[in-house]
Amino acid sequence: MHYKKKRGFTLIELLISIVIFSLMIGIATYSFSLYVDIIRKSFDPYPENAYRFSELQDSIRSMFYYVGEKKDIVGDKKFFLYFFGKPNSMVFVSAQSAFKDNNLTVSKIFIEEHTLVLEECNIYSCYNDYKNPNFVKGHTKKIIIGEHVKDINIFYFVDGKQERFLKDKIPNLIRMEIEFDNKKKYTWYFKVMSDFLNKKAITGSLYAHF
């Protein structure tokens, strides 16, 4: 009777087969994760970038005609519209928090380590001064609007006139030119939708006061 040779696998054969097997499992897992990502993205109702843009737009569109109060050198009270616009950053009061806090927030848009950030701080809280609100360390929240951002240029339009610096005035339209690290450039427009009657009443009283 003829018997088959009963020799098993050698250690080298076993190791090589384990390496090949793990490689194939790795490839399969990678492919599967790519497919899952495709499926997730195609069913995503809010694409990531568009969602972040919407958050930023909601915040800017709901810009609030907030009247701040400060004392001058003599000690007299001075009222001012809370807005500080620079070519690469913007500070304003918004009625629409990106974190849905249902409160007025002092918001700042700026670049921090190649990331476009929207930072918020609640105005009516014990740690902030509602007359002249600011960012209190440890009590701010940040939302990332864009990553790998190289530069940002902000233009402010007030009654058709373009400004690079704006203080104590609320712009009608804001143009943001954003350059990413991969040299892609985007232009975003944001319309400030503050109520016309409020604007008239507030600015009217402000100028009458001075």
Partner 1 sequence: MPLNNKGFTLIEVLVSVVILFLSILSVSFTFKEYIYYKNRQQKNEDLYISVISLVNKLEGEDLNKIVFKEGKINSFHYVLKIDKIDSARKWSYGFGSSGNKGKFLISLYKIVIEIGGKKFTLYKTRFKSL
Q: Which of residues 48-67 bind partner 1 (CB under 8 A)?
A: 48-50, 53, 57
Nearer to partner 1, 138 or 160 (CB): 160
Count CB neighbours of 148 within 10 A: 11
Q: What is the residue whose two structure tokens read 């790795």?
A: 26
CB of 136 to partner 1, least distance (A): 31
Asked whether 96 and 61 are in contact (CB, 8 A), the reply is yes
Nearer to partner 1, 37 or 181 (CB): 37
Residue 13: both structure tokens together? 């054969």
Q: Out of 87, 173, 179, 199, name the contact with partner 1 by CB under 8 A.
A: 173
**C-alpha span between 99 and 63 (Å, rounded):** 15
Q: Write each residue from 181 to 210 as x if it is in contact with partner 1 (CB under 8 A), else as -, in one continuous string.
A: ----xxxxxxx-x-----------------
HEC string of 114-125 equals: CEEEEEEEECCC
35 lies in the site for partner 1, by CB under 8 A: yes
Q: Which residues sit opposite 84 in a β-bridge?
A: 91, 167
Nearer to partner 1, 42 or 102 (CB): 42
Residue 47 corresponds to which amino acid?
Answer: P
Under the rule (CB under 8 A), what is the footprint of partner 1? 10, 24, 27-28, 30-31, 34-35, 37-38, 41-42, 47-50, 53, 57, 157, 172-173, 185-191, 193
